[in-house]
Amino acid sequence: MIPTNEKPVSTFRISQFIRQETLGGILLILATLVAVFWANSSFYEGYHYLTHEIRVGTSFGDFNFSLHHWVNDGLMALFFFTIGLEIKREIMGGELSSVKKAALPVMAALGGMVVPAAVFLMLNGNNPHSQGWGIPMATDIAFALGIVALLGSRVNINLKIFLTALAIADDLGAILVIAVFYTDTIHYYQLGIAMVAIIILIFGNTMGIRSSLFYGIIGSAVWLAFFFSGVHATIAGVLIAFTIPANAKINEIDYIESLCTLLTKFEGEKPNDSKLLTREQAHLIEKIEALGNDAQTPLQRLEHLLHPISAYMIIPVFALFNAGVRIEGNIMDMVLHPVSLGIIAGLVLGKLIGISVFSHLAITLKLAVLPQGVCFRDIYGAALLAGIGFTMSIFIADLAFSDPQVIQIAKVGIFTASILSAILGVFVLLSGEKQGKSPGE
């Protein structure tokens, strides 16, 4: 039984997740500012050389790419692998583990994807840039939670959990969109190799293989096969994550009993005159460490290891290599371009309308209830913050367009929309606090 003064395990885990994302969001903001100022300074040539001219790899098999390419296809595959672990964890035992828990964030995420895409197509459906409809569908969880972190305790923890679950469901939708709609040419032989490797991973899971080395080696083969198949390699990260075992080798009761036995033996050892442990004590500590590994699921162990790396390194590095948009020409012409307007309207208005309407629909149909202490004004504020598309939106923009000028215009639209969404979201959340809202209002 959980003591009354402690949080439930699921709430504790997602709270820890939120804390890491908020710090990652702050680093993301800093990396973005550095990239923007660097790209628009007299040192732009250095920025361009770093991101696009330095090449790493081997000429064998034409496996030689720029750092920008490695960041977007290599590091981001690890990022998507981490997202896959988070999605699987939430489905198995978190905020998406039951219909009741998942209904509100999933419905909100669905509205937050469908409506922004429709808004973009309303403005660009009749021009050659209509393939950018996927750009305003995304929500940048790190950036959004980084903004929320600045508000501190003035934002209800349940609203943060809702926003996190919404963004995770949104990530799953974005992954499916990338896999289905932003893949040009598919080489089925390499894709077949990838599928065989994934089957081996699934078989290893069912056979009880828990070695990270096994999943790392076979997973690398999956990534390489996807890399050459034409399907974006980051999708491999998510598929590999879904094959990682999510069951512990021993249950909690057996773990506690075995741990108590080992600790009793350790305590019963005669004191050693030396500061060093006795041979038996050292042996017992090894058994305790092995017991701890058996009690932990490989999925949670990997997520615990990789999530800080993703939040503190991969996403800021991605922003540094992708946010450096050099503004050449009239900025207002770029903002008022149909592509930019479609993205701005989609992220700011589309997200607000889609998330709010679908949330109301879920509550009205009694599919879900508002989280405790959260009112619809909070939902509106969260919907606006979900319009911070940044990382995923930039990623999709690079896939959707081939013309560098259009990509630049799209990124200007993403920056503008993200800034507007952040300002409006904070204003709505703080205005609700000033008016002294009550829970369930």
- pLDDT tens for 289-316 read 877 777 788 888 888 888 888 888 888 8
The answer to whether residue 439 is domain-embedded is no
Same domain, 205 and 259: no
CA 29 to chain CA centroid, nearest Å: 16
Strands (E) located in 122-209:
none
What pLDDT does 273 receive? 64
- 65 and 205 fall within a common domain: no
Residue 2 domain flag: no
pLDDT confidence of residue 247: 83
Of the given ranges (356-370, 403-417, 423-437), which has the lowest mean pLDDT? 423-437
Question: Looking at the structure, do residues 194 and 52 belong to the same domain, yes or no?
Answer: no
Tokens of 403: 């013309």
Same domain, 236 and 219: no
Q: How far apart, in Å, are the Cα atoms of 429 and each of 111, 150, 197, 371, 420?
A: 21, 12, 47, 16, 14
Cα 366–chain centre separation: 29
Q: What is the DSSP code string of 257-312?
A: HHHHHHHHHHHHSPPPSSSSPPHHHHHHHHHHHHHHHHHS-HHHHHHHHHHHHIII
CB contact set of 256 (below 8 Å; sequence gap of 6+): none
Residues 301 and 208 in one domain: no
Domain check: are 308 and 419 in the same one? Answer: yes
* Residues in Cβ contact with 143 at an 8 Å cutoff, skipping those fewer than 6 apart: 25, 28, 29, 388, 390, 391, 418, 422
- Site of tokens 């903002």: 335
Same domain, residue pair 166 and 302: yes
- Between 348 and 163, whose confidence is greater? 348
Range of the domain at 85: 9-183+232-247+297-434
Q: Confirm whether 400 is domain-assigned.
A: yes
353 lies in the same domain as 419? yes
Least confident of 74-78, 242-246, 277-281: 277-281
- The mean of the pLDDT values for the chain is 82
Number of domains in the chain: 3
Same domain? For 188 and 178 the reply is: no
**Residue 381 lies inside a defined structural domain of this protein:** yes
pLDDT of residue 440: 41
pLDDT classification of 212: cutoffs 50, 70, 90: confident
Taking alpha carbons only, the member of 184, 180, 168, 173 closest to residue 137 is 173
**Is 32 a domain residue?**
yes
Asked if 30 and 159 sit in the same domain, the reply is yes
Q: What whole-number distance in Å separates Cα of residue 336 and Cα of residue 340?
A: 6
pLDDT value of residue 15:
58
Residue 12: pLDDT over 50: no
Specify the CATH number for the domain of residue 40.
1.20.1530.10
Whole-model pTM: value is 0.73
Does residue 145 or residue 107 have the better pLDDT?
A: 107
Task: For residues 225 and 259, state if they share a domain.
Answer: no
Q: Kindly tell me if the per-residue pLDDT of 61 is higher than 70.
A: no
Nearest to 145 by CA among 344, 423, 422, 377: 422
Do 136 and 210 belong to one domain?
no
Cα pseudo-dihedral 407, 140, 320, 175, rounded to 10: -70
In a domain, 125, yes or no: yes
- What does residue 285 show for φ and ψ, rounded to 5 degrees? -65, -40
